[in-house]
């Protein structure tokens, strides 16, 4: 049985932890709202850009571009986009479980987020580049990651590039996702459902000055914006998961404090009753 001193010490300790988790919950909730708004606001634009890219490449005739080249996959690169910090529930663990399925002999990793780089180092996989991104992802950060992955593909150092990130669904649901990046084709952009009806559309398309000039410019920018949307989804997922995790931790701490306080009061009442009985017994003698 715990003593009164031990119970008081545990209640104070858990109370301090509760204050920390409550503060982290409030901070995460504030960041979560901004991150969710940014992720949701960008989806219509990315969806439109994706459709433009699909229509343009489908109607360009015999147009060829190195970014569209499908090759036999002997070596692939995986862009692993994880969180910078923990305390966000199973979000990072689910992502790393998916990353562990790739063959370490034929896969190199590009990481964004410190937790991703730590996982690659811990599992002794090949890391070729490490990037960071802020709580509010910037387009320049996405462009740097996209450019590095694009250079690996164009230099034929890898034959395929895939993205491992978290798909933001809502505050309570975030799913790990593996999506194609290069070569450019039909992709599953996080949080966006693509409905292609190009076959039924027979409208004539004229490229000025030429398909090569237009698509050469469009495809690179499409990849940058695609990566930017992935970062926005990853950050919205991270902040949502952290807010929920800290909320659960705060509620658990409150419940534990309540139980310990009840035990403390019972023990204290028992000690008082025992002392009163001892006093009464002494007077009777």
Contact 186, 70 (CB under 8 A): no
| Distance (Å) of CA 203 to CA 54, 74, 174, 198, 208 | 14, 39, 39, 10, 16
Per the rule left: phi > 0, alpha: psi between -120 and 50, beta: everything else, 203 is beta
Beta-sheet strands, E only, within 59-140: 76-81, 107-112, 126-131
Nearest of 123, 215, 110, 121 to residue 153 by alpha carbon:
110
The yes-or-no answer on residue 178 being catalytic is no
Alpha carbon of 282 to those of 32, 140, 239, 242, 268: distances in Å? Answer: 65, 82, 64, 59, 21
Tokens for 268? 């204290």
104 CB neighbour count, 10 Å cutoff: 13
Tell me which residue has tokens 């999506």: 179
If one counts every other C-beta atom within 10 angstroms of the C-beta of residue 219, the result is 19
| CA-angle at 167, arms to 241 and 134, nearest 5° | 65
| Side-chain half-sphere exposure of 243, counting CA atoms within 13 A | 22
Neighbours of 209 (CB within 10 A): 7
Q: Which of 7, 28, 77, 88 is catalytic?
A: 88
Which residues are catalytically annotated? 88
């Amino acid at each position: 049985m715990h003593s009164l001193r031990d119970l008081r010490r545990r209640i104070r300790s858990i109370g301090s932890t509760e204050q920390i988790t409550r503060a982290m919950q409030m901070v995460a909730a504030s960041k979560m709202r901004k991150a969710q708004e940014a992720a949701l606001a960008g989806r219509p634009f990315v969806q439109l850009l994706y459709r433009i890219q699909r229509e343009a490449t489908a109607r360009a005739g015999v147009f060829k571009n190195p970014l569209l080249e499908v090759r036999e996959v002997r070596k692939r690169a995986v862009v692993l986009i994880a969180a910078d910090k923990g305390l966000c529930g199973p979000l990072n663990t689910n992502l790393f479980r998916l990353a562990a399925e790739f063959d370490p002999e034929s896969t190199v990793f590009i990481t964004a987020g410190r937790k991703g780089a730590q996982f690659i180092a811990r599992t002794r996989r090949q890391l070729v580049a490490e990037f960071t991104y802020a709580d509010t992802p910037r387009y320049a950060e996405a462009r740097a990651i996209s450019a590095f992955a694009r250079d690996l593909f164009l230099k034929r150092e890898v034959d395929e590039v895939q993205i491992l990130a978290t798909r933001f669904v809502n505050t309570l649901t975030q799913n790990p996702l593996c999506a194609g990046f290069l070569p450019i084709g039909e992709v599953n952009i996080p949080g966006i459902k693509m409905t292609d009806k190009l076959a039924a559309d027979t409208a004539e398309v004229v490229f000025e000055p030429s398909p090569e000039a237009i698509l050469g410019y469009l495809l690179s920018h499409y990849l940058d914006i695609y990566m930017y949307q992935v970062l926005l989804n990853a950050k919205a997922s991270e902040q949502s998961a952290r807010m929920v995790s800290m909320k659960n931790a705060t509620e658990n701490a409150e419940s534990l404090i309540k139980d310990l306080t009840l035990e403390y009061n019972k023990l204290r009442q028992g000690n008082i009753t025992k002392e009163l009985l001892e006093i009464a017994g002494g007077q009777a003698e």
